[in-house]
Amino acid sequence: MGLLEGKTLLVTGGSAGIGRATAIEAARQGADVGINYIGDDAAADACLAEIAALGRRGFALKGDVADPETARAFVSAAVERLGRVDIFVSNAGICPFHAFLDMPLDTFERTMRVNLHGAYWMVQAAANQMVAQGGGGAIVAVSSISALVGGEYQTRYTPTKAGVHSLMQSAAIALGRHGIRCNSVMPGTILTDINKDDLADPEKRARMAARIPLGRLGDPEDLAGPILFLASDMARYVTGAALLVDGGAFVNLQ
């Protein structure tokens, strides 16, 4: 029997990278799965096909997480298609690399709106559904090692990841009385589309890899287990926690 047998799980940014790996592993573990994405219809369809091949129900909702209306639509679609929301994974995010001193206003605002505002409205919509249906629930947000350490070209990104971590801590307090647990994962450097341009520089890629005691950059599938553990009943007494999933990069000072 799978870890998530009989549960329903929603994940934002489920068409690619960490969200996609999480969606597919959740289906493998017995969950029905709804994914949100913003643009890549073919990738969303491919993910749904994998969920169906695992014998689970799935649906996709296209929409921008920065728009609070997308959160309401995603949760409504989940109730209509899957009946309820047991687990919510807030994952969608962007990271346009740019220098600090000439940061364009629109790059700053877009990153805040997608990564932080988007997580806030999505988590609130999912929590309202969990409270209304009863029986508790689990919320996992994808924060980052970047909540704890900086990046020269990530000055509008790292505060959003610290904000997501903080949101899970406060939501854990607000929702504990409803039996809803809220935790975050903090990935290190994971090979996905979000950083393929940045890591195309072989020198930077080698420098990032050299910092990792486990000897390699991460793959999206490395996150699925930790996310789904926190989402599962095996973590029933864990809330307000943050789990680094970075191959040991953070602790490697010297």
Ligand X SMILES: C[C@H](O)[C@@H]1OC(=O)[C@H](O)[C@@H]1O
Ligand Y SMILES: NC(=O)C1=CN([C@@H]2O[C@H](COP(=O)(O)OP(=O)(O)OC[C@H]3O[C@@H](n4cnc5c(N)ncnc54)[C@H](OP(=O)(O)O)[C@@H]3O)[C@@H](O)[C@H]2O)C=CC1
| Interface with ligand X (CB under 6 A) | 95, 144-146, 151, 161, 189, 194-195, 198
The verdict on 137 binding ligand Y (CB under 6 A) reads no
> Could you say which of ligand Y, ligand X, none residue 37 binds, taking C-beta under 5 to 8 angstroms by partner kind?
ligand Y
CA dihedral (165, 169, 172, 173) in degrees, to 10, reads -160
Residue among 144, 146, 184, 232 flagged as catalytic = 144
Do the beta carbons of residue 236 and residue 245 sit within 8 Å? Answer: no
> Could you say which of ligand Y, ligand X, none residue 198 binds, taking C-beta under 5 to 8 angstroms by partner kind?
ligand X
The verdict on 13 binding ligand Y (CB under 6 A) reads yes
Q: Is 161 in the active site?
A: yes
Q: Which of 22, 111, 189, 232 binds ligand Y (CB under 6 A)?
A: 189
**Minimum CB–partner distance for residue 101 and ligand X (Å):** 20
Rounded to whole angstroms, the Cα distance separating 88 from 177 reads 18
**Minimum CB–partner distance for residue 38 and ligand Y (Å):** 4
**Minimum CB–partner distance for residue 4 and ligand Y (Å):** 20
Do the beta carbons of residue 217 and residue 170 sit within 8 Å? Answer: no
**The tokens 């490697």 sit on which residue?**
252
Residue 94 token pair: 């962007």
Q: Which residues lie closer than 8 Å to 59 by C-beta, 6 or more apart?
A: 34, 35, 48, 77, 78, 81, 82
> Could you say which of ligand Y, ligand X, none residue 111 binds, taking C-beta under 5 to 8 angstroms by partner kind?
none
**Minimum CB–partner distance for residue 145 and ligand X (Å):** 5
Site string for ligand Y, 15-34 (x = CB under 6 A): xxxxx---------------
Residue 157 phi, psi dihedral angles, 5° rounding: -100, -45
Q: Is 237 in the active site?
A: no
Q: Is 157 in the active site?
A: yes
How many other C-beta atoms can be found within 10 angstroms of the C-beta atom of residue 109?
A: 13
Rounded to whole angstroms, the Cα distance separating 38 from 237 reads 34
What value, to the nearest 5°, has the Cα angle with vertex 173 and ends 156 and 146? 25
Kind plus residue range of the DSSP H or E element containing 122 = helix 118-133
Among residue numbers 139 through 178, which ones bind ligand Y (CB under 6 A)?
Answer: 142, 144
Residue among 90, 157, 184, 232 flagged as catalytic = 157
**Minimum CB–partner distance for residue 128 and ligand X (Å):** 28
Residue among 37, 161, 184, 232 flagged as catalytic = 161
Nearest to 140 by CA among 243, 28, 211, 234: 243
Q: Which is nearer to ligand Y, 19 or 226 (CB)?
A: 19
Catalytic residue positions, numbered: 144, 157, 161
Binding site for ligand Y (CB under 6 A): 12-19, 36-40, 43, 64-66, 91-95, 114, 142, 144, 187, 189-190, 192-195, 220
